[in-house]
Amino acid sequence: MLYRNFHEINSKIYLIEISRSKNKLSILLFPDFSYPKEYIGEVLPIKIAVSLLKENLNLFENLIHKFSVKFNKLLIEGYHTHGLQKIPSPRRRSPELRAKTVAVESHRDS
């Protein structure tokens, strides 16, 4: 066990336990620590866990501040939200640039 403490997430207090095996980091949140069969868990590959910890000054407390719980699932800002960021739409080329591209392509063909 690397870390064990109580923290408030989404205005609810959880007992948080963080442990690791050779290749994985396990994060368990217990909403009712007197009933350990009920928990919310997340298993991270060690490479991702190390990069998340580096972003948070290698402090579990800083990492835990990025936790949120939605629909009984643990979400970690920077890990789960990474793919949800808005992707910028591709820029459209101006007519002048399109004309230059066509001219260059037609010059290559001849």
Report the distance separating Cα 37 and Cα 71, nearest Å: 18
Q: Average pLDDT of 85-99?
A: 51
The C-alpha atoms of residue 43 and residue 45 are separated, in whole angstroms, by 7
pLDDT of residue 36: 87
H helix count then E strand count, the chain = 3, 6
- pLDDT tens digit sequence for 40-90: 999 999 999 999 999 999 999 999 999 999 999 999 998 877 654 444 444
Section 5-27 average pLDDT: 96
Name the average pLDDT for the chain: 82
Specify the pLDDT at position 80: 75
How do 12-20 and 24-30 pair as beta strands?
A: antiparallel
For the chain, which residues make up each domain, given as ranges?
Answer: 3-84
Is the full-model pTM beyond 0.85? no
Euclidean distance between CA atoms 94 and 88, whole angstroms: 18
